[in-house]
Amino acid sequence: MTKAIMVQGTASNAGKSLLAAGLCRIFTQDGYRVAPFKSQNMALNSFITKDGLEMGRAQVTQAEAAGCEPDVRMNPILLKPTSDRGSQVIVNGEVVGNMTAQEYYLRKRELMPKIEKAYASLASENDIIVLEGAGSPAEINLKENDIVNMYMAKRAKAPVLLTGDIDRGGVFASIYGTVMLLPEEERRLIRGIVINKFRGDVDILKPGIEMLEALVRKPVVGVVPYLHLDIDDEDSLSERLTESGPPKRIDVAVVRLPRISNFTDFNTFGRLKEASVRYAASVRELKEPDLIILPGTKNTMGDLKWLRACGLEAAILRHAAEGKPVIGICGGYQMLCKQLSDPFGVEEGGKMAGLGLLDAETVFEKQKTRMRIIGSFLKPEGLFAELNGAAFEGYEIHMGKTQGSAPALSTITSMQGEKKLDGMVSGNVFGSYVHGLFDSEDVLRGVVRALLKAQGIDAAQTEKAGWDIRTYKDQQYDLLAGALRSALDMDQVYQILEEGV
C-alpha cells in the first residue's frame, strides 16, 4: 500500500518545497519509488511536460530530486497571477481561463474530484508520495474551501510535518499559533515539528524546543540549518531576486519585472566562475552591466508600461545603442519588438509600441503555445556569432506569435516532430521563446565567450568550463539529502510515515 507524508508550513517561504524535495531524494536513495504532489500551486514559474501540459516548477524540482519524470498529476491545479486580484487557472495542465480570486474560490469544490483522481492515479504507481502544502493550514478565513493543506492530508491519510522558519524570528509563536488555531481533528494529523533555516548552536534552542513540545504535545523531529544550496526556487519570494553574489568578470543583470516568470532560466549564469547574475528593478540597481536580460512575464504589456514609467526602458535602449548585448526571453522577447497587438484582450487590449530593438510585431492570441523542444542556433552575425550551431533543449509557454523581418535565431523541433524557426537576432540583440535556453552548455559557453571577447579577453579558456547541468543538479540534491539526514531524526520520520494517520 502506498505510504504518504506531508510537509506543511506556518507561512509561505517556510521551506516546505525544499524539505519536500529533500525527503523525495532521501526516500529515493533508500530504494523506494517516490513522487511529489501538491494539489494547488500559485506561482509564475512553470514547466511543460513531455506531453505538452503545464505544471509548477516546485514539483518539477521535487520530481528531479526523486529521479522521476515530471508529470502534471503531481500538480493538478496551477494558478498564475495576472493581477493583484486574478489568476490564470490551469487544471490538469490545461488553461481553463482567467478568474478573479472570488470566482476561483466559488469553484474550488468542483475541482476536488479532479485533485483526488490525480492523486489516486499517481499513488497507484509509487511506494511513497511526498505531499506539500501551501501557505499555512491555519488561514482561518479560507479553511472552508481548503483543497491543499489539511484537506489533502485527510484524503491521502498523510501524517504532517509542520515546519517553521526561525531565520525570520518568532518561530515558536508561529508554530504554537498554527497548531492551536486548528481543530483537534486536524491537530492530530500533525505528527512532527521541523524548525528550519537555523543559524548557530542548536544547544541554545533546546530549552525552547522542550517548552514547545510540552505546549503543542508534538515532537520536534529536527532543526535544519540554513542551507546554502543551489536548487531552483519556487516563486517571487526567492532570495535570488534580492541578493547578489560577489562581482565577477561578467556582470549579468536580469530586469526584475513586476510579474516576472521563470526566473530560474538564468540560474546557470551564477554557477560560472566567469559570471555573476543579479536582478534589477530600477535604473539605480541596473548600473552598467555587461549583459541585460529581459525575462518572461505573465503580463508583457503591463510590465512594458512599468518599464517605461520607472525609466528602465531608456536605460536599456541606451545600453543597446552602445553596442552592448540585450537578450529577451519569452515576454522579454515580445517587448523587444516594434509593436505589440492584443486584439482579443488577452492582456491589456489594443496596441502598444515595443522597445523597437527587433523589426517584428507580436500579436497575442487566445490559444497558449505549450511544447517541449530541441533546437540549435543558426548563424547569428556580430556579437553573438559564437553561438553558431549551439544545441539546446527547453520548452515554449506563451500567448501570441511574433513575426518580422529580422533574421531568425534558431531552428526548433517539438516532441511531436514539428519543425519551425524561433526567435530573432539583430546585431547585439536577440530574443527567443525558449525557456531553459541557458541550461545548455553550448549556449551558456557561447554567450560567455561572446561577452569575454567584447571585453578583449581570450575566450578560449571557457572551453574548460564543462558545465553539465544534470550532474550539477544531482550533486545539489544529494547535498540536500545529506544535510536533512544529519538534521532530522530519520528513524522517527520513517516511524511517522509507517504509522500513517
Q: Taking Cα atoms as reference points, which of 280, 279, 282, 262 lies closest to residue 270?
A: 279
CA–CA distance, 55 with 46 (Å, rounded to integer): 6
Let me know the angle formed at the C-alpha of 197 by 192 and 202, rounded to the nearest 5 degrees: 75
The single residue of 24, 68, 330, 337 carrying the catalytic annotation is 330
Task: Name the burial class of residue 402, with classes exposed (0-12), middle (13-18) and buried (19+) by CB atoms within 10 angstroms of its CB.
Answer: buried
Q: Give yes or no: 330 in active site.
A: yes
Q: What is the CB neighbour count within 10 angstroms for residue 273?
A: 11
Q: Strand (E) positions, 172-216? A: 190-198
CA–CA distance, 425 with 422 (Å, rounded to integer): 10
Ramachandran area for residue 15 (φ above 0: left; ψ -120 to 50: alpha; else beta)? left
Q: Give yes or no: 337 in active site.
A: no
- The cell numbers describing 74, all together, are 503531481
Residue 117 one-letter amino acid: K
Contact 34, 123 (CB under 8 A): no
Q: Helix or strand or coil: residue 209?
A: helix
DSSP 134: -
* Residues involved in catalysis: 330, 435
